[in-house]
Structure 1
């Protein structure tokens, strides 16, 4: 690619921020209202932790010579088993996240149509959306990309809009009265919402994927990754806290469409309905993209020999339809397995499990930095700075893992251990030659 066609630092920064926004912010105001406006402290902790992670991913992206993004990073310290576990846990995370995104769409649709859903109805509606977005991907990546580029505005317009104009309806008394409604100790209040806030930043690792299309990547990629993450953090913090000063805490905490509720109070119910429709549309568009991404990640793992070859079968349009059908069946099963008394409760279960399984590849990527810098001769001064930031990022990651809760740790742990068993079954493809070599030493 010629330099004239490459992205500059401003373009890449905007791309990074938009990639993170997706549908992650849509239910956040309601979830954070359950803790109180004291959750702004969690935002600050998560923003710093995410910036440290973003910086380290930028370093990995510039140093790595292996394909597959963070799957390739994990191969440096842990060999093929690291690559497999990174890919496997990331697949589990997308599996869970997609169901959570579908539930978010159901919540906004229920508010839009003014219907009360039973737990079974929530699951059936979730499964319907999962299947619709899967089938819609059968036409190939071009259609998926066009829809995603359009529907993202369903999130950007309301979220950025409330950051700018929401202050005219902001009431300090409403905000302060919601500070700590359950009288939690400060540290517990911060910890209670760490997983919720990190959910909004999942996907920051994808920011380094465009380094080949960037002018002067050594300088511009770290700036864009940090700038994009910081921009997203500012938008998240302002939007969720402005809403907390507009809508009374109890109303906000029980809402399944918090942005729609906020715009209803700012203007009128009709505007609120329009915002609900926009965000529901954005959720479906985001899910459409993630269903395609899910199939591609599993297909990549299958081509490496990790999963059955059926996931590599594609149509003339380049779509792995058979693999997609298997994956949506797994998502359907997960939807029924996590059925809960309320939509909010089911979302909580899925959110915590998605965060836990997503940050495992983060830990593996952070572990790769020391050896990558050694291999490629990074000078000691720069390596020392990178390693300090890496330790901060890793520490934050473990803090987030701990705060996903016992249920997520149990099920996430079981899923991860099953991955080691699966790798044991396929390991002869990769480890036989190495072990024979060891026997001759």
Structure 2
């Protein structure tokens, strides 16, 4: 992929389902959540600068996960690989749920949880067939789907301001039952979902042309596009749809378009949102296969995850994660698509917070290890790292107990997996040791 395709993929991965469903989720808190979104954007900007610096210091397949492994060693590397891998493919489940949510605008029967889940599974395996054809085809497809995404968002985010009602916006300022400060923090944690994928360019390094230049530019450009789209669309929707309508909506952009311009416009926006959500799937599939491939190449995961087809796609990892996604879609069935979507994104955000925290802490250590710790630049990056880490630690502590329990269980599960890694490493060393023995008569 070149700069344009990688920028679109990075922006699509961040926005994905987030931009199309976050208005409903944040609407349950109220329009005060816009300040939580702004706080999250500043933290994500810090992380983007951190990730770009890490990519320059340690240009390696696997992006931030490879850097964490390099800085903290194989045990933490294994833990964070599993956390990040979980976040990528669970997040892809949310993309499918959002796409089917907008598809229900045309086919209301999909609002039934079982039928909606089956539709998600069917679309998932269609995306797998596309993903098996490689990153070049994915990049071309995302130029089209990303265009649909931007068109749908900006049509509401720019043209919708003419219909913005300040009374509706103020009436739903804070409906969380908590203080404004607590509401802002809760909104900031939820808003993290909307920016997951900011590291997409660095993780996909092996699939990129001229990665030293393309990766950092695509990261910052993709973040800028995402920030503009979120800021314009989320606020205007909260000022058009009444609170009760917004929080019950499975397709807030389509419902907003219908309220402004009529049913035909709602159908058009819904169609664009479906294409955009499902079009972001292959980009996330690159992430959910590149991470286990990099881990397999470093010896943390079994070698089978590094097997590729003729298009350079780690096909075993792709199919295996698709099976796991199918199970998650069936196991998280809820009374409504909105409830299932919220359950999925809580799990995805909780899983991603731990790798982000370790990545923030890894940068100062990497700069010391690379002898780059002299001068004001080092202290500037230390400040960025501490700012990002403090926010992430607060998000972890304020998170839902169920998500934290899942995180603890996953960390415990890494202990026997790490023991297996040690056993495999010892076997490789024993196999290689006869070749490394000194020759007879040598003085080594």
TM-score interval, normalised by the smaller of the two chains: 0.7 to 0.9
Let me know the Cα RMSD of the aligned residues.
Answer: 2.9
Per the alignment, residue 151 of structure 1 pairs with 145
Task: Deviation per CA, 1:273-294: give whole Å up to 9, x if none.
Answer: 1111111111111113323432
The within-5 A match list for 1:341-352 is 341-352=335-346
Structure 1 residues 48 and 142: alpha-carbon distance in aligned structure 2, compared to 1, 3 A threshold: closer
- Does residue 411 of the first structure (1) align with residue 367 of the second (2)? no
Of the three residues 74, 88, 95, the one matched with 1:94 is: 88
The within-5 A match list for 1:45-60 is 45-60=39-54
Q: Do the aligned partners of 1:257 and 1:276 also contact (CA within 8 Å) in 2?
A: yes
Per the alignment, residue 423 of structure 2 pairs with 428
CA distance in 2 between counterparts of 1:314 and 1:213 reads 22
Of the three residues 275, 281, 296, the one matched with 1:281 is: 275
Structure-1-length-normalised TM-score: 0.87
Q: Do the aligned partners of 1:60 and 1:369 also contact (CA within 8 Å) in 2?
A: yes
Structure 1 residues 222 and 287: alpha-carbon distance in aligned structure 2, compared to 1, 3 A threshold: closer
Of the three residues 365, 373, 378, the one matched with 1:383 is: 378
Q: Which moved more, 1:264-273 or 1:204-213?
A: 204-213
Offset at 1:208? 4.6
Structure 1 residues 227 and 311: alpha-carbon distance in aligned structure 2, compared to 1, 3 A threshold: closer
CA distance in 1 between counterparts of 2:120 and 2:153 reads 24
Q: Do the aligned partners of 1:47 and 1:230 also contact (CA within 8 Å) in 2?
A: no
Per the alignment, residue 435 of structure 2 pairs with none
Offset at 1:317? 3.6
The within-5 A match list for 1:180-329 is 180-208=174-202, 213=210, 225=219, 228-329=222-323
Q: Which moved more, 1:59-68 or 1:364-373?
A: 59-68
Equivalent pairs counted in the alignment come to 425
CA distance in 1 between counterparts of 2:113 and 2:190 reads 22
CA distance in 1 between counterparts of 2:26 and 2:66 reads 35
Q: Which moved more, 1:413-422 or 1:166-175?
A: 413-422
CA distance in 2 between counterparts of 1:93 and 1:402 reads 18
- Does residue 396 of the first structure (1) align with residue 391 of the second (2)? yes
Offset at 1:152? 1.2
Q: Unaligned stretches of 5+ in structure 2? A: 430-444
Q: Do the aligned partners of 2:93 and 2:325 also contact (CA within 8 Å) in 1?
A: yes
Task: Deviation per CA, 1:239-264: give whole Å up to 9, x if none.
Answer: 10111111111101110100001111
Q: Which moved more, 1:346-355 or 1:302-311?
A: 302-311
Offset at 1:84? 2.4
Structure 1 residues 135 and 238: alpha-carbon distance in aligned structure 2, compared to 1, 3 A threshold: same
Q: Do the aligned partners of 2:297 and 2:306 also contact (CA within 8 Å) in 1?
A: yes
Per the alignment, residue 177 of structure 1 pairs with 171
Structure 1 residues 143 and 206: alpha-carbon distance in aligned structure 2, compared to 1, 3 A threshold: closer
Q: Unaligned stretches of 5+ in structure 1? A: 1-5, 434-441
Of the three residues 20, 43, 68, the one matched with 2:37 is: 43
Offset at 1:202? 0.8
Task: Deviation per CA, 1:298-354: give whole Å up to 9, x if none.
Answer: 233233333334333333344444443322211111112212111111111110110
CA distance in 2 between counterparts of 1:195 and 1:387 reads 23
Of the three residues 11, 27, 32, the one matched with 2:26 is: 32
Structure 1 residues 126 and 159: alpha-carbon distance in aligned structure 2, compared to 1, 3 A threshold: same
What secondary structure is seen at the aligned counterpart in 2 of 1:200?
A: helix
